[in-house]
Each structure stands twice: as structure tokens, then as C-alpha cells.
């Protein structure tokens, strides 16, 4: 999707289609093309408007004007008046008094265009990722030059603090603050580590960044090295990401040739070099202390904290560990300033977020949008509606360890703060959308299979707890569940969350906890009634036959 | 032939990446090197790596056991790894795996009698929007095969069979 000044959404629920929505969509394309505005205006389909009486509906952003019912003759006028002359065609507006329910959300976003905004992915797919000259031609290395020649290390950190950038690995820790911790620790040797061990099922945003724009990470790490006083860095890349590894290796090689890595970068006193370290298939290594253990050549088992890596990290030295997407935000922030970054997203979570959209929607793939858009927008606009016209049931944000978001929370703005307030977490950026045919118990079982396999086995609550939850859920889907199981699940969730050593165990309980919280009746139906309401689980326990009448 | 005799350049480069007093850190890249040719790490290479880095053979073996991309026994020449995590399961990866195993006549994790194909379920391969998919470990690296069907997969296996013979 291009940068668009306007966005046209045409409803495409079955009722709208029956009343000619497809024709209207085609006419919009034609009329917009006739005025050479294709580059400025994007057209998408919108489903699930909940307003069959006003169908077909046409919504135009950023004004959030809702037209309806629209017929083929109106299209030319809407394009002419609204899109070309910028005047709302009042007499074609949908009756506002009746606008309520599911379409009501559109009005609340008036004035903001939830269109894509590419900061992190601005170069991915546009430049040759194996050619440093193309990177440099597209603003590459300007941020580093600005930092090295005109800014003190503390000033670099101040800009990051001002921008409000938060870690994009899932926890949302303020990046500037983390940098200042490492900068403030006295040591002769410090390290910068990029966490590219993206293993959360459903997340592949970092892969796209690494493969599409590897030098952005190399430049950002170099800037980080300057800001915190480190002279060496490691990129820890997932073992499965061979292409990303090759491109990073190549990027490092080219940067060295151009004098952008190594001794006296850009003829200053600053020296910095980067190595690539490949993981080997262990989910736990995405946890930062397990990752450091792994670089040190050990089993990836998390350390006890404190001390945190910022004071005692790789080989005992102060270490800055940042996620790929976090780092990719650094050069543009440095170039354009902290205030520039704050114009995107929400006040508590500025900037953009890269999401992967998956599951039962019509479009699956990758988007980068300002923080604070809602799940409903993601499903209707970017996901182009639920597949086969089904109803949205739940979404899981952030991969296996992410929250299970019920339909009642789908209008919560997606930023760290709003989600925290709603008692759920945003996680790393995977948005798995599930429809009404998805059984939550089955879903929880698949997730738990993953944790049982990936638990590193170091601490007992996680090693035993993930296995026990899996066992109990298996019993429930096979029709052997008892009410005691519910109690046991509550207990296990609580102990996993509170006494596991690291984030894996603490968050393994998140989805199952949400299932217990939002979908308890469905779980109980499996146990008490012996039925799977969605007809997914085998429930093969023998059904008690009523006693035969003699 | 020891690892250092076989790949003198690579071993030197790997060792140079890590601090002198932290040689053990080189163990993961060295294991990849040992695995390059045959798709699994031989016992004598583990011993060899241990000696090079001043750690025990047991230490090396425990890493091979911990990380799922290292293997300590040979598998089929084509190691087909199918992702069955939640997002892939929603797009039919489970059915795909079951059908593939059935048509090849193997259990998940098993190898065909001719030693050509091993099929195994694995965790997230980070191409969730393109399921069902599998990756194949080859000497040169990893190949992804996305949006697969049984027919396409069997066709591909046939073509590899022909190429090999």
C-alpha cells in the first residue's frame, strides 16, 4: 500500500454485494483513475458493517465520512465532490441517527487515517538489500554521520528518550532508558546485541526487516555502540533464518569495506565491529539472558536476574540487548528528531508497529501502522474482512505467549498502555484472527503443546507446569475432563505466572489464563455437557446410555 | 579427518570471532560446520570440538541435544520439516502432515525405507501466512516450500529422486 491522502472503503458484506457493491468498487477505481488520483487514494473493501439497511456503505478517510446507501450513479459525484474538490456530498451521507452499533467505531477515529505508515519498512522491497550503495542513496548512514560528527553520546540518548520509543520485542520497555543504563555503567568493555531470534509462532516481522533492509540494523547497532560506549556487537539470528544471515554477513562485509565498521569509523575516534551468531532452533533463546548464554556457547537457559544484562551481560560485561524492530526505528528518529516520531501513534506509545496478520481473514501478511489502531480496523481494513463471512471470535496478539482477546475488546486501541489497562498484552506483533468455528480449548491445547516442547527444563514450575496443563487439556478435548481440572488449571496458571524463572514460563500461562477468564463457559461445556460447542474436539468418551427399559 | 583438517579456513575464522579467553563460544558455529556434509554431527566430531575448545565431549553432546537444529543421527537425504504451530494449523498444516506421512508410508519423524525422505513436525518456521509449508535442510542451507499441497510435494520429491539418481 502507498502513502495515501485518502482511503475509500466499500462495504462488501453479502447484502452490499447483492445491492451492487462490486460494481461500485469497480466504478470508484475507474473514476479515480480517470482523474489520475490512483497514487493518492487507496481503495479497500470493508466487511461486517452491521448495517444492511444502509448498504452498500462507502467510508472515506481521513474525514471518516460515511455514505450510504450508495448506488452506481452516486460514485461519480462522490469522487468529483469529495475526493477531487474536498467537499463532503452532504445529501448522500448515511442517516447518522441510525448509525450505531458496529459502524459506530468508524466515527470515533475521525481525522486520523489508519493507513499504513512505513518507518521501519520504508526501504524493504524498494532497495537491493545486498547493495550498500542503494542503502546509502536512500538516507542510509546519514543518522550515524549526524551522531558521530555533531552529537555527544548523551545527546543521542536524549533524542531517543524524547521520542518515547519502546522496545518492540513485546515488553515495551523505554528504549532510551535502557540505553542510558548501559551508558551509565563503568566498564572498559561493553557489547551491543541485536536480538534477532524471532521464534514466536506467528511473528515474522523481524525476518522481513532483516532480509529487506539488513544495513539498517547494522547502522543502528553502530549508533548504539557510540551512544553506550561499546566497541563490539553481535547479531543473534534464528538458525532457521539462513537468508537473513547471509544478507547480514554481506552487509557487515560491505560496511567494513566502506569504512563504516571497524577502526576509526568516518575518520573519527570511534571504532565498532559486528559479528553474526546463528541460533540453532530454541525458542527460549529469544529471552535475552538465554540468548547471552547461547552466544557464550552454553545451553540457552535463562539466568536469574538481577543482575540485568545492562550491568552484567555477555561474558559478564555491560550489554545492550535490543530487538530488530526497535533498532530499525533508531536511525529515522535520530535523523528527524524525537518530536517528529511522536506525531505517529498514541501519546503513551508513539510511532508505528509492524504486525503480521494471520488466521481466518481474507488477507494475511505484514503491515506497518501507527500504534493505537484497533483490532476491528485490522480485521476489516487490512485483513479485508473475515473469511467466508464468518464472525470474529477472538484474536491472539503476540504469538503463542500472547493474550487471547475476546470480541468485547476489539475496539481497544492497540498500544502498550491501553492493552495493559485492559488486562491484556500486545506482545511482539502477531495478530492471529480466529472465527466462530475455532474451539478455544483446542486452541489452548495447540499452544500448550508448543510450550511443553520449548520449555528449557531449568526451573520446575515451567518444566512440570507446561506439561501438566497440556495433559489436562488433552483430557478435556478427549472428553475425560472433570471440574477438578478447572481448579487445577487455575492453580497451575497462577504458579507458572508467579514463580517461573523467566518470561517463557511467566507468559506460557497468559493464553490459558485468558481462556479461563473470557471463555470459561465453553471450557465448562466440554466438561459438564461432554460436548465441544464448535464440533472441533474429538470428545470420544463413551456417552452414558439411559438404562434400557425392560 | 578432523574438523580443522577438513575446514582449516572456516575453523580459524570462527575462532577469531570470539574473545581469546572465551573459546567455548565457538561451539555452535563449529557444530554447524561439523553437520554441513552429512546432516548430523558425528561422535568423533563432538570429541574433536570439545578438545579444540577445552570443554568435555559431554558438554558438546548436551548442546546437540538442547538445540533442535543439531542432529546426532543420520536421517533421510531430504529432511522435510513441516510447521504445525497454531497459525499453520489454522491453515491446514496438521492435515497436510498427516496426508504426507500417509502417502509416503511413514510415521511423523520417520524415514522412508529407501532412506530418501524423513518427515518431521517442527515449531514455527516464520512464514505463517504461507502455510502449509515445510523447510528442507540441505548441505547449502535451508529451502522453504510454501503454500504446498500433497500433489506438489510428491512431485517435488520425485524430481529430487531423479536428480539424485
| Record: contact B32-A281, CB cut-off 8 A | no
Contact A208, A243 (CB under 8 A): no
pLDDT at A13: 76
Cα separation values, A461 from A200, A299, A445, A465, Å: 21, 19, 18, 5
Provide the angle, in degrees to the nearest 10, between the axes of the packed helices A153-163 and A324-336.
100
Return the CATH number of the domain spanning residue range B3-66: 1.10.10.1590
DSSP A346-399: -SSSBSEEEEEEEESBS--EEEEEETT-BHHHIIIIIS-SBGGGPPEEEEEESS
pTM of the model: 0.82
Give the H or E element holding residue A194. Answer: strand A191-196
Domain regions of chain B by residue span:
3-66, 78-164
According to CATH, the topology of domain A6-109 is Glutaredoxin (3.40.30)
| Record: contact A275-B67, CB cut-off 8 A | no
Q: What is the pLDDT of residues A197-224, one digit of tens each?
A: 998 888 889 999 999 999 999 999 999 9
Contact B90, A359 (CB under 8 A): yes
Nearest residue to A86 (alpha-carbon basis) of A65, A107, A115? A65
Per the listing, cell 475488546 goes with: A409
pLDDT band at A78 (very low <50, low <70, confident <90, very high): very high
pLDDT at A46: 74
What distance in Å separates residue A354's CA from the closest CA in chain B? 15
Name the residue facing A240 among B29, B31, B126 (closest C-beta): B126
Beta bridge partners of A166: A174
Strands A352-359 and A365-370: antiparallel
pLDDT band at A101 (very low <50, low <70, confident <90, very high): very low
Backbone angles phi, psi at A45, to 5 degrees: -95, 155
Give me Rg for the CA atoms of chain A. 26
Instruction: Enter the C-alpha cell of residue B70.
Output: 543439531
Contact A270, A264 (CB under 8 A): yes
3-state SS, residue B154: helix
pLDDT at A104: 43
Q: What is the pLDDT of residues A29-51, one digit of tens each?
A: 999 999 888 888 888 877 666 56
In which region does residue B141 sit, left (phi positive, over 0), alpha (psi from -120 to 50) or beta (all else)? left
CA dihedral angle for residue A38, residue A41, residue A46, residue A49, rounded to 10 degrees: -140
pLDDT at A88: 85
Instruction: Enter the C-alpha cell of residue A272.
Output: 565498532
Q: What is the pLDDT of residues A376-425, one digit of tens each?
A: 888 888 888 888 888 999 999 988 888 999 998 888 888 888 888 888 98
Q: What is the pLDDT of residues A14-33, one digit of tens each?
A: 788 888 899 999 999 999 99
Mean pLDDT of the A485-513 span: 93
Q: What is the pLDDT of residues A325-370, one digit of tens each?
A: 999 999 999 999 999 999 888 888 899 999 999 888 988 888 888 8
Where do the CATH 3.40.30.10 domains begin and end in chain A?
6-109
pLDDT at A549 over 90: no
What distance in Å separates residue A300's CA from the closest CA in chain B? 8
pLDDT at B55: 96
The CATH label, of 3.40.47.10, 1.10.3720.10, 3.20.20.10, 1.20.1440.230, for the domain at A443-538 is: 1.20.1440.230
Contact B99, B150 (CB under 8 A): yes
DSSP secondary-structure letter at A413?
B
Cα A209–Cα A212–Cα A215 angle in degrees, nearest 5 = 80
The CATH label, of 3.40.50.1110, 3.40.50.11540, 3.40.980.10, 3.90.550.10, for the domain at A132-339 is: 3.40.50.11540
Q: Which of B15, B66, B86 should we substitute to test contact with A (largest number of A Cβ atoms within 10 Å)?
A: B86
Contacts of residue A272, defined as CB under 8 A and 6 or more positions apart, other chains included, come to A221, A222, A225, A226, A230, A231, A232, A233, A261, A262, A265
Better pLDDT: B75 or A161: A161
CB of A384 within 8 Å of any CB in chain B? no
Better pLDDT: B36 or A132: A132
Beta bridge partners of A35: none
CB of A295 within 8 Å of any CB in chain B? yes
Instruction: Enter the C-alpha cell of residue A531.
Output: 460436548
Cα separation, A52 vs B83, in Å, equals 40
Contact A380, A46 (CB under 8 A): yes
Burial letters B61-70, b for 16+ CB under 10 A, else e = bebbebbbbb
Contact A421, A348 (CB under 8 A): no
Instruction: Enter the C-alpha cell of residue B22.
Output: 572465551
Per the listing, cell 489497562 goes with: A421
| Record: contact B63-A297, CB cut-off 8 A | yes
Cα separation, A428 vs A171, in Å, equals 8
Give the H or E element holding residue B145. Answer: strand B141-145
Backbone angles phi, psi at A93, to 5 degrees: -65, 150
Mean pLDDT of the A79-95 span: 86
Q: What is the mean pLDDT of each run of 10 residues along chain B (165 residues)?
A: 92 94 96 90 95 96 93 88 87 91 93 91 84 80 86 92 74
CB atoms inside a 10 Å sphere around CB A211: 19
Chain B residues with beta carbon closer than 8 angstroms to that of A277: 17, 28-29
pLDDT at A503 over 80: yes
pLDDT at A99: 41
CB of B129 within 8 Å of any CB in chain A? yes
Where do the CATH 1.20.1440.230 domains begin and end in chain A?
443-538
Q: What is the predicted ipTM?
A: 0.88
Cα A311 from chain centroid?
A: 29
What distance in Å separates residue B104's CA from the closest CA in chain A? 25
Backbone angles phi, psi at B158, to 5 degrees: -55, -45
Backbone angles phi, psi at A256, to 5 degrees: -65, -45
Chain A residues with beta carbon closer than 8 angstroms to that of B30: none
pLDDT at A100: 40
Cα separation, A512 vs A493, in Å, equals 7
Q: Please give the share of chain A, as a percent, with pLDDT higher than 70.
A: 92
Give the H or E element holding residue A289. Answer: helix A288-295
pLDDT at A546: 52
Where do the CATH 3.40.50.11540 domains begin and end in chain A?
132-339
pLDDT at A47: 65
Give the residue from chain B lying closest to A358, CA to CA: B129
| Record: contact B68-A315, CB cut-off 8 A | no
Instruction: Enter the C-alpha cell of residue B148.
Output: 504446498
In which region does residue A233 sit, left (phi positive, over 0), alpha (psi from -120 to 50) or beta (all else)? beta
Strands A191-196 and A319-323: parallel
Name the residue facing B68 among A277, A281, A430 (closest C-beta): A281
Mean pLDDT of the A169-195 span: 95
CATH class of B78-164: alpha beta
Chain A residues with beta carbon closer than 8 angstroms to that of B87: 201-202, 358-359, 430, 432
Backbone angles phi, psi at A369, to 5 degrees: -135, 160
Q: Please give the share of chain A, as a percent, with pLDDT higher than 90.
A: 57
Average pLDDT of chain A? 88
DSSP secondary-structure letter at A311?
T
Residues 74-93 of B with CB under 8 A from A: 85-87, 89-90
According to CATH, the topology of domain A352-435 is Ubiquitin-like (UB roll) (3.10.20)
DSSP secondary-structure letter at A49?
-
Contact A401, A385 (CB under 8 A): no
Amino acid at each position: 500500500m502507498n502513502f495515501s491522502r485518502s482511503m475509500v472503503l466499500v462495504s462488501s458484506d453479502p447484502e452490499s454485494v447483492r445491492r451492487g457493491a462490486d460494481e461500485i468498487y469497480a466504478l470508484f477505481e475507474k473514476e479515480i483513475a480517470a482523474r489520475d488520483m490512483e497514487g493518492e487514494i487507496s481503495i479497500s473493501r470493508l466487511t461486517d458493517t452491521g448495517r444492511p439497511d444502509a448498504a452498500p456503505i462507502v467510508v472515506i478517510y481521513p474525514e471518516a465520512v460515511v455514505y450510504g446507501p450508495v448506488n452506481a450513479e452516486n460514485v461519480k459525484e462522490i469522487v468529483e465532490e469529495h475526493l477531487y474538490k474536498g467537499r463532503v456530498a452532504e445529501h448522500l451521507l448515511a442517516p447518522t441517527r441510525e448509525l450505531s452499533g458496529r459502524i459506530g467505531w468508524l466515527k470515533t477515529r475521525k481525522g486520523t487515517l489508519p493507513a499504513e505508515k512505513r518507518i521501519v519498512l520504508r526501504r524493504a522491497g524498494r532497495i537491493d538489500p545486498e547493495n550498500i550503495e542503494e542503502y546509502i542513496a536512500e538516507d542510509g548512514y546519514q543518522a550515524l554521520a549526524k551522531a558521530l560528527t555533531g552529537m555527544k553520546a548523551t545527546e543521542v540518548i536524549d533524542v531517543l528518550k524524547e521520542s518515547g520509543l519502546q522496545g518492540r520485542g513485546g515488553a515495551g520497555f523505554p528504549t532510551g532508558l535502557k540505553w542510558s543504563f548501559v551508558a551509565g555503567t563503568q566498564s572498559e568493555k561493553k557489547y551491543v546485541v541485536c536480538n534477532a531470534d524471532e521464534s514466536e509462532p506467528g511473528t515474522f516481522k523481524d525476518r522481513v526487516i532483516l532480509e529487506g533492509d539488513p544495513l539498517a540494523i547494522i547502522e543502528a547497532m553502530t549508533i548504539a555502540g557510540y551512544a553506550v560506549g561499546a566497541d563490539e556487537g553481535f547479531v543473534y539470528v534464528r538458525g532457521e533464518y539462513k537468508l537473513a544471515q547471509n544478507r547480514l554477513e554481506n552487509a557487515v562485509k560491505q560496511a567494513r569495506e566502506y569504512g563504516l565498521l571497524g577502526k576509526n569509523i568516518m575518520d573519527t575516534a570511534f571504532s565498532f565491529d559486528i559479528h553474526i551468531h546463528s541460533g540453532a532452533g530454541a525458542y527460549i533463546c529469544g529471552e535475552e539472558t538465554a540468548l547471552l548464554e547461547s552466544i557464550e556457547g552454553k545451553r540457552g537457559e535463562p539466568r536469574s536476574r538481577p543482575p540485568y544484562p545492562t550491568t552484567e551481560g555477555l561474558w559478564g560485561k555491560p550489554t545492550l540487548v535490543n530487538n530488530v524492530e526497535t533498532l530499525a526505528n533508531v536511525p529515522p528518529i535520530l535523523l528527524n528528531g524525537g518530536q517528529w516520531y511522536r506525531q505517529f501513534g498514541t501519546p503513551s506509545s508513539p510511532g508505528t508497529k509492524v504486525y503480521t496478520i494471520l488466521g481466518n481473514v481474507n488477507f494475511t501478511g505484514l503491515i506497518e501502522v501507527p500504534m493505537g489502531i484497533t483490532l476491528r480496523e485490522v480485521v476489516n481494513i487490512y485483513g479485508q474482512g473475515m473469511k467466508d463471512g464468518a464472525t470474529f471470535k477472538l484474536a491472539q496478539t503476540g504469538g503463542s505467549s500472547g493474550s487471547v482477546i475476546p470480541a468485547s475488546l476489539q475496539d481497544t486501541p492497540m498500544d502498550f498502555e491501553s492493552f495493559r489497562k485492559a488486562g491484556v498484552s500486545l506482545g511482539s506483533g502477531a495478530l492471529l484472527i480466529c472465527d466462530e468455528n475455532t474451539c478455544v480449548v483446542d486452541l489452548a491445547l495447540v499452544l500448550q503443546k508448543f510450550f511443553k516442547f520449548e520449555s528449557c527444563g531449568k526451573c520446575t514450575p515451567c518444566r512440570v507446569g507446561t506439561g501438566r496443563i497440556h495433559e489436562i487439556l488433552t483430557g478435556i478435548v478427549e472428553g475425560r475432563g472433570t471440574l477438578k481440572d478447572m481448579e487445577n488449571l487455575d492453580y497451575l496458571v497462577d504458579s507458572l505466572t508467579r514463580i517461573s524463572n523467566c518470561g517463557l514460563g511467566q507468559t506460557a500461562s497468559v493464553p490459558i489464563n485468558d481462556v479461563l477468564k473470557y471463555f470459561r463457559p465453553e471450557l465448562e461445556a466440554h466438561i459438564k455437557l461432554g460436548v465441544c460447542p464448535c464440533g472441533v474436539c474429538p470428545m470420544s468418551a463413551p456417552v452414558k446410555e439411559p438404562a434400557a427399559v425392560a | 579427518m578432523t574438523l580443522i583438517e577438513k575446514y582449516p579456513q572456516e575453523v580459524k575464522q570462527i575462532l577469531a570471532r570470539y574473545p581469546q579467553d572465551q573459546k567455548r563460544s565457538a561451539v555452535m558455529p563449529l557444530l554447524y560446520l561439523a553437520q554441513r556434509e552429512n546432516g548430523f554431527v558425528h561422535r568423533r566430531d563432538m570429541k574433536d570440538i570439545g578438545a579444540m575448545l577445552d570443554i568435555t565431549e559431554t558438554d558438546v553432546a548436551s548442546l546437540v541435544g538442547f538445540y533442535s537444529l543439531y542432529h546426532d543421527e543420520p536421517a533421510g537425504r531430504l529432511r522435510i520439516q513441516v510447521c504445525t504451530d497454531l497459525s499453520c494449523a489454522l491453515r491446514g498444516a496438521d492435515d497436510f502432515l498427516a496426508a504426507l506421512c500417509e502417502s509416503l508410508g511413514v510415521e511423523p519423524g520417520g524415514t522412508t525405507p529407501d532412506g530418501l525422505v524423513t518427515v518431521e513436525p517442527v515449531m514455527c518456521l516464520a512464514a505463517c501466512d504461507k502455510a502449509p509449508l515445510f523447510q528442507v535442510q540441505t548441505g547449502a542451507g535451508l529451502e522453504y516450500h510454501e503454500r504446498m499441497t500433497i500433489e506438489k510435494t510428491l512431485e517435488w520429491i520425485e524430481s529430487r529422486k531423479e536428480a539424485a539418481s
